[in-house]
């Protein structure tokens, strides 16, 4: 029996969720499907989001827990865990 796949949603780890929302929503035009908080929440309060543009889904997850994000991105972590940001 063959397994039929109808879609995929890659999960991207992001350093800065508001900046990621600005890019994916503001520049590319993705819409929010769901988040770990309210759908219309301030991106600074979102740790995980599912976004959609036409038939393309992506999920964004913060790289750090609330209050633990360093002031600057560690350049050693920009390309790691199989995902380059």
- Number of domains present in the structure of the chain: 1
Q: Is 5 a domain residue?
A: no
Q: What is the CATH number of the domain that holds 53?
A: 3.10.180.10
Predicted local distance difference test score (pLDDT) of residue 53: 96
**Which of helix, strand or coil describes residue 7?**
coil
Predicted local distance difference test score (pLDDT) of residue 33: 94
Q: Is 3 a domain residue?
A: no
Collect the ranges in the chain with pLDDT lower than 50. 85
**What is the domain extent for residue 20?**
11-67
Q: Is 53 a domain residue?
A: yes
**Concatenated DSSP letters for 29-74?**
--EEEEESS-TT--GGG-SEEEEEETTEEEEEEESS-TT---SS--
Predicted local distance difference test score (pLDDT) of residue 45: 87
Predicted local distance difference test score (pLDDT) of residue 71: 75
Q: Is 63 a domain residue?
A: yes
Q: Is 30 a domain residue?
A: yes
**Which of helix, strand or coil describes residue 59?**
strand
Predicted local distance difference test score (pLDDT) of residue 85: 47
Q: Is 83 a domain residue?
A: no
């Amino acid at each position: 029996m063959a397994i039929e796949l109808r879609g995929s949603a890659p999960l991207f780890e992001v350093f800065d969720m508001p900046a990621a929302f600005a890019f994916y929503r503001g520049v590319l035009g993705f819409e929010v499907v769901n988040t770990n908080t309210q759908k219309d929440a301030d991106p600074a309060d979102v740790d995980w989001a599912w976004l959609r543009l036409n038939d393309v889904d992506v999920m964004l997850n913060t790289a750090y827990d609330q209050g633990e994000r360093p002031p600057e991105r560690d350049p050693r972590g920009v390309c790691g865990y199989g995902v380059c940001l």
